[in-house]
């Protein structure tokens, strides 16, 4: 199982590094998507740790948090719920365009920084 945990952790780290690179180049839609992906994958590592099984093929961060048996604050639950939107909506061109109109630097920077905070917290669990 430790190989599966390492697999998900490495993917999570890579996705978070990609979010940072996208932020530096101004590709805000992809920052938001990669933030969601990074938290999804680190949560899947926790699901493997908790269940001793490969995680289910789902992308809902709140559901993964429940499966991982990690106690998450209400503030972070709200954040995860909002971040879910950027996985679901960023997959289709018309939605990507809609997000790109609202994904300002300030909004994206907030999501990146909050993801970093949650990501680092999850690494300690």
Q: Which domains does the chain have, with CATH numbers?
A: 2-124 (1.20.120.330)
Say if CB 89 and CB 95 are below 8 A apart: yes
Say if CB 89 and CB 22 are below 8 A apart: no
> Is residue 67 scored above 60 in pLDDT?
yes
Task: Please tell me the predicted confidence (pLDDT) of residue 122.
Answer: 97
Residue 94 — very low, low, confident or very high, per pLDDT cuts 50/70/90?
Answer: confident
This model's pTM is above 0.85: yes
Q: 77 Cβ partners below 8 Å, 6+ apart?
A: 62, 65
Q: If you average pLDDT over residues 31-45, what whole number do you get?
A: 97
Q: HSE-up of 28 (CA within 13 Å, CB side)?
A: 15
Q: If you average pLDDT over residues 59-81, what whole number do you get?
A: 96
Task: Please tell me the predicted confidence (pLDDT) of residue 87.
Answer: 84
**Two tokens at 40?**
């999804």
User: How many other β-carbons are positioned within 10 Å of the β-carbon of residue 48?
Assistant: 23
Task: Please tell me the predicted confidence (pLDDT) of residue 100.
Answer: 78
Task: Please tell me the predicted confidence (pLDDT) of residue 97.
Answer: 74
């Amino acid at each position: 199982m430790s190989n599966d945990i390492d697999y998900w952790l490495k993917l999570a780290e890579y996705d978070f590094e990609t979010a940072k690179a996208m932020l530096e180049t101004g590709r805000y839609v992809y920052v938001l998507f990669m933030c969601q992906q990074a938290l999804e994958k680190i949560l899947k590592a926790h699901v493997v740790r908790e269940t001793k099984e490969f995680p289910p093929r789902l992308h809902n961060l709140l559901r993964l948090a429940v499966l991982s048996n990690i106690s998450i604050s209400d503030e972070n639950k709200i954040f995860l719920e909002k971040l879910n939107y950027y996985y679901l909506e960023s997959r289709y061109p018309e939605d990507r365009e809609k997000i790109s109109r609202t994904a300002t630097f300030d909004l994206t920077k907030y999501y990146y920084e909050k993801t970093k905070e949650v990501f680092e917290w999850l690494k300690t669990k």
